[in-house]
């Protein structure tokens, strides 16, 4: 894990991030909307429930997590100001340093995991269906029966993985990194390269066991 200057990351406006409130294990989706050099980082206020802004207070300690330049990054900060116009957003204290760790390439294996898909970036879109055709513990290739997203969208995948006699339903929050133009399944209408944003500890263990079992069967990419 290295420590880097925030400006050196050259983060793009609109970058998807995770806001973690001190004392709350849940990580909330937000987006970078800008910064005031040396003073504050501006992010959208996460929305919860029926679209209400997350309740935070001034000087609340928070952690901001994100991916940049093939690194998993995070910094501790606190809420400086809460704004509501033209949309709810937060001023976070300028970080002295950002912790950055290189994301190791994970082993990818062949798979055929049927999943249902909810596009959280496009709430009005109907649930879609498809299959993960290869995956690792950090990402996957997803093929679907109909187009269900665009680059940058957040997709919530739900499916079953079976290892031995044990089957577990897992839920994975992922981000579309690329739209692909080649299909491996005959009935596919769209394909995506996705990166996993959040997997619960229990679901990650099930996913890791599934990947290990596929490697043992010789299904490694």
CATH of the domain at 50: 2.30.110.10
Residue 12: CB atoms within 10 Å:
8
Whether residues 175 and 115 share a domain: the answer is: yes
Q: What span, in angstroms and rounded, lies between the C-alpha atoms of 108 and 141? A: 10
Domain boundary among 83, 102, 121: 102
Domains identified in the chain, total number: 2
pLDDT confidence of residue 88: 93
Residue 107 reports pLDDT greater than 80:
no
Q: How many CA atoms are closer than 13 Å to the CA of 153, on its beta-carbon side?
A: 20
Q: Which residues contact 167 (CB under 8 A, 6 or more apart)?
A: 160, 161
Question: Of 21, 26, 35, whose CA–CA distance to 78 is shortest?
Answer: 21
Q: How far is CA 17 from CA 84, 99, 184, 198, 218, in A?
A: 19, 15, 31, 11, 36
Mean pLDDT of 89-95: 95
pLDDT confidence of residue 1: 57
The CB-based long-range contact list for 158-165 (8 Å cut-off, 24+ gap) reads 158/115, 158/116, 158/118, 159/113, 159/114, 159/115, 159/116, 159/132, 160/113, 160/114, 161/113, 161/206, 161/207, 161/209, 161/210, 162/210, 163/206, 163/209, 163/210, 163/213, 164/213
Q: Using pLDDT thresholds of 50, 70 and 90, give the confidence band for residue 106.
A: low
What pLDDT digit, counting tens, does each position of 139-171 carry?
A: 899 999 999 999 999 999 999 998 888 899 999
Q: What span, in angstroms and rounded, lies between the C-alpha atoms of 67 and 198? A: 12
- Is residue 221 included in any domain, yes or no? no
What pLDDT digit, counting tens, does each position of 164-214 carry?
A: 888 999 999 999 999 988 888 888 999 999 999 888 888 888 888 888 887
Specify the DSSP element, H or E, that contains 164.
Answer: none
What pLDDT digit, counting tens, does each position of 48-74 carry?
A: 877 889 999 999 999 998 887 767 789
Q: How far is CA 93 from CA 20, 37, 200, in A?
A: 15, 11, 29
pLDDT confidence of residue 102: 58
Segments forming the whole domain that contains residue 164: 109-216
Whether residues 143 and 176 share a domain: the answer is: yes
pLDDT confidence of residue 68: 78
Rg (CA), the chain: 19
Residue 128 reports pLDDT greater than 90:
yes
Whether residues 32 and 80 share a domain: the answer is: yes
Q: What are 81's two structure tokens? A: 């100001």
Whether residues 113 and 205 share a domain: the answer is: yes
């Amino acid at each position: 894990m290295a420590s880097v200057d925030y400006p050196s990351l050259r983060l793009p406006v609109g970058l998807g991030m995770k806001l973690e409130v001190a004392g709350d294990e849940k990580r909330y989706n937000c987006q970078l909307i800008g910064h005031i050099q040396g003073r504050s980082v501006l992010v959208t206020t996460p929305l919860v429930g029926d679209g209400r802004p997350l309740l935070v207070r001034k000087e609340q300690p928070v952690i901001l997590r994100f991916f940049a330049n093939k690194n998993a990054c995070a910094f501790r900060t606190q809420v400086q100001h809460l704004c509501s116009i033209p949309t709810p957003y937060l001023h976070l204290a300028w970080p002295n340093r950002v912790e950055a760790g290189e994301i190791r390439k994970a082993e990818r294996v062949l798979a055929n995991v049927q999943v249902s898909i909810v596009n959280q970036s496009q709430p009005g879109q109907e649930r879609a269906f498809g299959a993960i055709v290869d995956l690792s513990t950090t990402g996957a290739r997803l093929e679907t029966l109909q187009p269900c997203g665009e680059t940058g969208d957040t997709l919530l995948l739900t499916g079953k993985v079976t290892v031995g006699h044990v089957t577990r339903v897992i839920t994975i929050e992922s981000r579309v990194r690329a739209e692909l133009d080649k299909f491996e399944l005959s009935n596919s209408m769209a394909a995506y390269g996705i990166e996993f944003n959040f997997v619960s500890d229990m679901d990650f263990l099930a996913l890791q066991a599934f990947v290990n079992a596929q490697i043992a069967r010789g299904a490694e990419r």
